[in-house]
Structure 1
Amino acid sequence: MLKDEDINLFRESIKGAKKLAQNTFVAPKKVNVKKKSEQREIREKSDTLFYFSDEYEPLLNEEDAVKYLREGEDTYLLKQLRRGDFSPELFLDLHGLTKEQAKLELASLIQACLDEHVYCASIMTGYGTYTLKRQIPRWLVQHPNVRALHRAPKEWGGDAAILVLIDS
C-alpha cells in the first residue's frame, strides 16, 4: 500500500501532463506461413540447381559401371554400393522426363535427402536414348553433398538405376 506522501509526490511530478488519446490499434503483421515455406522451397531448389552445369565434363569412365567417389572418402563405400549394402530410402523415377525436368527433379531429390536426413537414394534413369543415363552422373558429381554414386545392384534397378550416397 502506498503512503499518502508518495501519492502526493507522484501527483505533483505529473502536474501539467496531458492525457494521451489511445484510440488507434495496430494489428500484428500476419505471416503467411504457407507462402513463406513455398518461397523457401523455391530458393533451396534454385540453390541446388546452381551446382548442375551441362558444360562440366568430369573424368568418368563411361564404358565401366557408372561410379564416383568424392575425394577424401573411403574407397570401401563404392564396394558397399556395388554390393547393395545400402538400402535407398528415397526413389526417383526419371522415365519420360526431359533433361530440364530431370535436372529439377534431381535438385528436389537432393534437397529432400538433406531435409529428411536420408543417406541413400536411388535414381531410375531407364535405358531409352541413354541421354539421362549419361547426364545424371555428370550432374551428381558436381554437387558438394554427393559422397559417392554407383550403378545400382540388380535388386535396386541394375543398369537402369544409380545409387547415390548423400551427406545428410
Structure 2
Amino acid sequence: MSDDELFAEEMAGVKPLVVEQRVAIRKDSSSEVNIAARRAAATAASEARNFLSSSDIELLDPYYVLEFRREGVQHGVFRRLKQGKYAIEARLDLHKMTIEQARLQVFEFIREAMKADLRTVMIVHGRGHHNGSKGAVLKSYVNRWLPEMDEVQGFCIAQIQHGGAGAVYIMLRKSENKKQENRDRLARGRSL
C-alpha cells in the first residue's frame, strides 16, 4: 500500500470542524472618544520624554561667548569645532519662537540628528538685541538645554559667517555605527 492510500484509509471517518462566526465589532461614537484619549496620552508621553527645563533662568548678555565641552572630548577636536572646520550637517533656526516652541524644537532636532548619525549641527538662536528684555532669552535657554542632553559632547559660538554670537556649533556623540566605521577604517590603514 502506498502512503496516499494509507493516509486516505486513516482519514476515512474524519469530518471538517465547524467554524463559528467571529464576533463583529461595532464602531460607535465611544471609539472616537477612545481615539482622542489615546492621542492625548501619546502626546503627553512624548512631552514627558522631553526633559529640557523651561523654568526661569538668568539671562545672558547678547555677546556672551557660549562654550561647553564634556570630559573626554579631545582639545584638538574641540578647537576644530570652534574654528568651524567641521561640515555643518543640519541647521535649526529658532528666530521668532517662544521658549516652549524652542524647547520642543531643540529636543526633537537633537533626537533626529542622532537618528540620522549626524555629528556636527548648528542652532541659530539669535543674539536677542531686539526682544526688549535685559538679555538674550533663547541664547540663555540654549546654553542651559544643550548640556542637559547626553548626546551633546560640546558646543561653542559659531564663526562670524555662520552667525557669530547668535549661533552655536554642536558636536554630537558618535553613534555605534560611526564608531565601527572608524575602527574598520583604522584597521584597514594598519594592514596596508
- Output the TM-score relative to the length of structure 1: 0.72
How many residues were matched structurally?
A: 148
Deviation at 1:72, TM superposition (A): 2.0
Taking only the aligned residue pairs, the percentage that are identical comes to: 24
Higher helix share: 2
CA contact (8 A) 2:54 2:103 kept: no
Q: Which residue of 2 aligns with 1:2?
A: 3
Q: Which residue of 2 aligns with 1:126?
A: 126
Q: Which residue of 2 aligns with 1:79?
A: 79
Q: Which residue of 2 aligns with 1:21?
A: 18
Separation in 1, partners of 2:83, 2:138: 23
Deviation at 1:123, TM superposition (A): 0.7
Say what the alpha-carbon RMSD is for the aligned residues: 3.4
Separation in 2, partners of 1:118, 1:44: 26
Q: Which residue of 2 aligns with 1:49?
A: 50
Separation in 1, partners of 2:149, 2:80: 21
Counterpart secondary structure, 2:86: coil
Q: Which residue of 2 aligns with 1:32?
A: none
Separation in 1, partners of 2:89, 2:108: 15
Deviation at 1:42, TM superposition (A): 5.9
Deviation at 1:24, TM superposition (A): 4.6
- Cα distance change, pair 160–5 in 1 and its aligned pair in 2 (3 A): closer
Separation in 2, partners of 1:90, 1:102: 16
Deviation at 1:80, TM superposition (A): 1.0
Separation in 2, partners of 1:53, 1:149: 18
Residues 114-151 of structure 1: per-residue CA shift (max 9 Å, x gap): 12111111111112241011110110001000001000
Separation in 1, partners of 2:84, 2:78: 10
Separation in 1, partners of 2:20, 2:54: 62
Separation in 2, partners of 1:3, 1:104: 68
Letter in 2 for 1:137: N
Separation in 2, partners of 1:4, 1:54: 79
CA contact (8 A) 1:67 1:148 kept: yes
- Output the TM-score relative to the length of structure 2: 0.64
Q: Which residue of 2 aligns with 1:33?
A: none
Residues 54-78 of structure 1: per-residue CA shift (max 9 Å, x gap): 4598xx9x98521000122212232
Alignment of 1:103-142 (within 5 A): 103-128=103-128, 129=131, 130-142=136-148
CA contact (8 A) 1:45 1:108 kept: no
Q: Which consecutive unaligned segments of at least 5 residues does structure 1 have?
A: 27-37
Separation in 2, partners of 1:48, 1:70: 23
Letter in 2 for 1:53: S
Separation in 1, partners of 2:122, 2:17: 67
User: Among 146, 149, 153, which residue is 1:143 paired with?
Assistant: 149
Separation in 1, partners of 2:56, 2:69: 17
